[in-house]
Amino acid sequence: EVIEGGGAVVLPGFVDLHTHLREPGREDTETIATGSAAAARGGYTAVFAMANTDPVADNATVTDNVYRTGREVGLVDVHPVGAVTVGLQGRQLAEMGMMAAGAGRVRLFSDDGNCVDDPLVMRRALEYATGLGVLIAQHAEEPRLTVGAVAHEGPTATRLGLAGWPRAAEESIVARDALLARDAGARIHICHASTAGTVELIRWAKAQGISITAEVTPHHLLLTDERLSTYDGLNRVNPPLREASDTEALRSALADGVLDCVATDHAPHAMQDKCCEFAAARPGMLGLETALPIVVATLVAPGLLDWRGVARVMSERPAAIVGLPDQGRPIAVGEPANLTLVDPDRTWEVVPEDLASRSRNTPYTGMTMPAGITATLLRGRVTQLGGEVRW
């Protein structure tokens, strides 16, 4: 097959360390099939499916099923994420060894949605994970500081009368977990870094030689809490949208390598759970189909990142962090063709009905995106061409 690629940029297939696919349990909002289609359209060849499903992916039966279903769909490599604690309750460690040894070969564990907030549980989890050679990803949120919080703590939340989520809720856990990882000789990955302070803490930890990595979402790179003035629930997300000083710090940290990669935190929700009073809206927004264009808008266009850098933050670094040998590689003779073709000159408008995701909760409706994802190849098979998914 000949793919028209005039003027295209060729990149290694994108790897998303943080995707919510909602299967099992909320197949009305996303399935492994619909989420895989969204991933293919976004240029992804591998996604990590978060464990906060129903039932929770805290055992090998669930993680193996997620893996097998992903293989059957065949559009993207779906890697199950295992829960760190049973039921995401933050108390009893899950059987991480069973999940790692199962068919799903779980290599990433996270209680995302919840934070492993008990320091003793986190310490034991880091020791256990180190023994297994797997990685823990932490949703950094000190829950005693976020009771009732729905928006970033700052002038906007005050003006709008919304309960605030302080930066310290995130940063205190980032600092603590860096120190716990240091003492355990463990690796730790920080989910969705959202504040300038988190950037400084990770910079510090890396300078100490601590094995810490971190991701940032497209929405935290682009959006600020000023959008909340319409009280539109589509802008509610955890951690919350912050301020311009934070987005600026996140952008330059991604460019200079203090932050390692972009991860979508793709979080599908039913519209009745998003279009309601702001404080009642579920947190989370779609991310897979708009991630690359937002990276182009926030980093490539202003000259902070070149296409080599895009390959690094969207593919090479995330693949290296979880140790995927056949992803994130420079395209070379004889290597499996996991790749994405990008048209840097094609602009397109976000129309929720056009998305492949089963949900519609994008905050970008009507926005013009600055780059098209022309094609995606998974091990040489075209999974998406011109936005059309090849099932």
Least distance (Å) between residue 240 CB and Zn ion:
11
Q: Of these partners, Zn ion, ligand DOR, none, which one is at the site of residue 237 (CB under 5 to 8 Å by kind)?
A: ligand DOR
Of 373, 354, 332, the closest CA to residue 5 belongs to 373
Least distance (Å) between residue 112 CB and ligand DOR:
5
Least distance (Å) between residue 332 CB and ligand DOR:
37
Residue entry with tokens 């992903």: 70
Residue entry with tokens 């320091």: 119
In which region does residue 221 sit, left (phi positive, over 0), alpha (psi from -120 to 50) or beta (all else)?
A: alpha
Contacts to Zn ion from residues 235-274, by CB under 5 A: 265
Complex with Zn ion: residue 153 or 265, whichever CB lies closer: 265
Closest residue to Zn ion, Cβ-based?
A: 139
What residues form DSSP beta bridges with 46?
A: 15, 77
Closest residue to ligand DOR, Cβ-based?
A: 284
Complex with ligand DOR: residue 20 or 360, whichever CB lies closer: 20
Least distance (Å) between residue 187 CB and ligand DOR:
21
Least distance (Å) between residue 362 CB and Zn ion:
16
Q: Are 387 and 38 in contact (CB under 8 A)?
A: no
CB-facing half-sphere around the CA of 372: CA atoms within 13 A: 17
Contacts to Zn ion from residues 122-141, by CB under 5 A: 139
Interacting residues with ligand DOR (CB under 6 A): 20, 52, 112-113, 139, 237-238, 267, 283-284
Q: Dihedral of CA 355/361/28/81: which sign?
A: positive
Complex with ligand DOR: residue 115 or 310, whichever CB lies closer: 115
Task: Determine, following the binding rule CB under 5 A, whether residue 117 of this chain makes contact with Zn ion.
Answer: no
Least distance (Å) between residue 345 CB and ligand DOR:
33
d(CA 381, CA 391): 10
Residues near 357 by Cβ (< 8 Å), separated by ≥ 6?
Answer: 30, 34, 35, 37, 38, 266, 268, 286, 288, 289
How many C-beta atoms lie closer than 10 Å to residue 360's C-beta?
19
Q: Of these partners, Zn ion, ligand DOR, none, which one is at the site of residue 246 (CB under 5 to 8 Å by kind)?
A: none
Complex with ligand DOR: residue 112 or 343, whichever CB lies closer: 112
Complex with ligand DOR: residue 52 or 195, whichever CB lies closer: 52
Complex with Zn ion: residue 31 or 52, whichever CB lies closer: 52
What angle do helix axes 60-73 and 32-41 make, rounded to 10 degrees? 50
Complex with Zn ion: residue 189 or 251, whichever CB lies closer: 189
Q: Are 22 and 53 in contact (CB under 8 A)?
A: yes
Residue entry with tokens 């769909």: 73
Counting residues that bind Zn ion (by CB under 5 A) gives 4
* Long-range own/partner contacts, residues 203-209 (CB < 8 A, 24 or more apart): 203/253, 203/258, 204/178, 205/178, 206/258, 208/178, 208/182
Q: Is 28 a catalytic residue?
A: no
Q: Active-site residue among 265, 273, 343, 345?
A: 265
Token representation of residue 258: 């203090």
Q: Are 279 and 150 in contact (CB under 8 A)?
A: yes
Contacts to Zn ion from residues 94-113, by CB under 5 A: 112
Pairing of strands 381-385, 388-389: antiparallel
Q: Dihedral of CA 232/238/243/248: which sign?
A: negative
Least distance (Å) between residue 240 CB and ligand DOR:
9
Binding site for Zn ion (CB under 5 A): 112, 139, 191, 265
Task: List the catalytic residues.
Answer: 265
